[in-house]
Amino acid sequence: MKIIEWLLSSLAWLQIFISPAITGSIIGVIIWLNMRNALGFSAAIIIALIGCGVGVAFAEKARRGKGTIEFMSRNIAHPELREKENR
């Protein structure tokens, strides 16, 4: 049972981490496409790493707070989201 709990917690952690990481990566790609030189590449890598760092920090804050599964559950069960489903 502990394995399943750990797996679900890890998947929730990844869900929390991935949003800032993808955002940073997309911004990095846009910068690299606009500046195709060493400076653009360096800036793109730095922005992508900042996005990953923010994702790790946010996921760890959620994990240490009430736990990743409870954090994701509160987001999914938000009343405003439920009202949109019912329409």
Which tens digits make up the pLDDT trace of 40-79? 999 999 999 999 999 999 999 999 998 888 888 887 776 7
pLDDT of residue 44: 95
Q: Could you read off the pLDDT of 11-35 as tens digits, one per residue?
A: 999 999 999 999 999 999 999 999 9
Give the residue from 84, 23, 28 showing the smallest Cα distance to 54. 23
Residue with tokens 């846009």: 30
Name the residue ranges covered by the structural domains of the chain.
2-86
Give pTM, 2 decimals. 0.77
pLDDT of residue 77: 75
Rounded-to-integer distance, Cα 30 and Cα 41, Å:
10
